[in-house]
Amino acid sequence: MQITKTQQGGTLTIALDGRLDSLTSPQLESEIQGKLDGVAHLVMDLEKLAYISSAGLRVMLVAQKIMSKQGDLVLKKVGQEVREIFDVTGFSDILTIE
């Protein structure tokens, strides 16, 4: 999985390309744990995310928990397959998806 981070002021955009599963989720978690100080808006660009597993969903919950204390988290450009996983697991009700 490839992770691209772009910061503009208090907005951090993280674009994911590939699969977010048990092998790659630690990589994303290390990119957000302790590295979101000063970030008011976290945007996850999921346009190129092909798949998300339960391990990836856990990382999304970690990000949501962190951002609920200091700003907001928005998931953008969520593809059909990933959106279905969010819907089936109930994560669509927990996360902000645009």
- What pLDDT shows up at residue 40? 96
Q: How far apart are CA 35 and CA 79, in angstroms?
A: 26
User: CB–CB of 38/9 below 8 Å?
Assistant: no
Domain that holds residue 36: 2-97
- What pLDDT shows up at residue 33? 87
Compute CA 19 distance to the chain's CA centroid, rounded to the nearest angstrom: 12
Is 79 strand, coil or helix? coil
Q: How many CA atoms lie within 13 A of 33 on its CB side?
A: 9
CATH number at residue 48: 3.30.750.24
Q: How far apart are CA 6 and CA 54, in angstroms?
A: 26
Name, in order, each residue with C-beta under 8 angstroms of 48's C-beta and a sequence gap of 6 or more: 15, 16, 17, 18
Residue pLDDT, tens place only, 79-97: 999 999 999 999 999 999 9
Residue pLDDT, tens place only, 14-72: 999 999 999 999 999 999 988 898 999 999 999 999 999 999 999 999 999 999 999 99
Domain total for the chain?
Answer: 1
**Residue matched to tokens 């059909």:** 80
* pTM score: 0.92
- What pLDDT shows up at residue 74? 98
